[in-house]
Amino acid sequence: MNKSSARTVAVVGATGAVGAEILSILEERNFPVDRVLPLASSRSAGDTVTFRGADVTVRALDGKAFRGVDLALFSAGAGVSKEYAPVAAGAGAVVIDNSSAWRMDPQVPLIVPEVNLRAMEAHRGIIANPNCSTIQLVVALNPLHVRAGITRIVVSTYQSVSGTGKDAMDELATQCRQLLNFEDVTPAVYPHQIAFNCLPHIDDFASSGATGEETKIVNETRRILGAASLGVSATAVRVPVFVGHAESVNIETDKKLSAADARAILSTAPGVRLYDDPSRALYPLPLRVAGTDAVFVGRIREDDSIDKGLNLWVVADNLRKGAALNAVQIAEALVR
């Protein structure tokens, strides 16, 4: 990729929830781009998206779409990425892929800029953006890991429907409206009603009983923290929230960290904002983080059920830091 001059940036999946967020973040952060090329399935081709005040026509994704593209930000699902990321890379673009397709490929760096930017240097045309739940977890935990050596993580998530996509956001709103009007609800996006409910089911189940989301959190966290044998237990739960993922996190460390130590470390950690004053009912809330960039951490407490344990409550905008923003931060590092 040419680092110095005019740049064409393709956004694959431009009409989706994350694609829209990528376009808006490229614009708001003044990313050095001359031309944006929105790509989507043939169903959405001909639609327009807005970039810097102008309508830009969405083009159909095909094998020729990446000619002249310097950078391709993929967010259209693992199937599309599996097929087209190598095509884009072959055409000379650097791919930043937001799907799960390449994340565990040892030749593809899996990057959270605040944590392991250096690993990006080894890329061969494709760089993977981690799963939303993983990104906020490692941004919050890496500074503690570096200082005290995390030996085990037990995390339970409270994940918003925007992680599933626009359809899911519509489904939550529609179901709430129907229920408040005493109408029947018919789940479509999720296997069960999501309004006023909690679903311990994100992504498909494996024979182990874990979901794909849970396995991603375990494997990606280990990979990004460079801790292959780190113990991670994850339970992923969908909650009736539109935007913002929350995580109840319990860690065990090698060296003792007091709650005050953890607060001091996190108060200057990159990408982290401490929001931890229970006396004023201040703690991170999914509702409040929507539209913001940081990973918010609060409810930091020593866990006296073990010698060296801490509890934290970690919240971030899953569409921004959990997806689009992290991808754009990787792109910014590439062009620096």
- Chain residues binding a copy of itself by CB under 8 A are 152-154, 156, 158, 172-173, 176-177, 180, 191-193, 196-201, 205, 208-211, 231-233, 235, 237, 239-242, 246, 248, 250, 259, 278-279, 281, 283, 285-287, 298-306, 309, 311, 313
The minimum distance between CB 259 and a copy of itself, in angstroms, equals: 6
Q: Of 192, 198, 201, 245, which one is the catalytic site residue? A: 245
DSSP string, 261-279: HHHHHHHTSTTEEE--BGG
Rounded distance between C-alpha atoms, residue 37 and residue 323, angstroms: 19
Give, in order, the Cα–Cα distances in Å from 37 to each of 70, 84, 95, 270, 284.
11, 15, 14, 31, 36
Six token digits for residue 115: 């944590």
The minimum distance between CB 125 and a copy of itself, in angstroms, equals: 34
Rounded distance between C-alpha atoms, residue 82 and residue 102, angstroms: 7
The minimum distance between CB 220 and a copy of itself, in angstroms, equals: 15
Residue 102: HSE in the Cβ half-sphere, 13 Å Cα cutoff: 26
The minimum distance between CB 172 and a copy of itself, in angstroms, equals: 8
Rounded distance between C-alpha atoms, residue 262 and residue 228, angstroms: 23
Six token digits for residue 182: 């005493």
Query: Contact, 144 vs 266, CB < 8 A?
Result: yes
The minimum distance between CB 99 and a copy of itself, in angstroms, equals: 23
Annotated active-site residue 176? The verdict is no
Annotated active-site residue 245? The verdict is yes
Q: Fill in the amino acid letter for 193.
A: Q
Query: Contact, 171 vs 190, CB < 8 A?
Result: yes
Active site residues: 132, 245
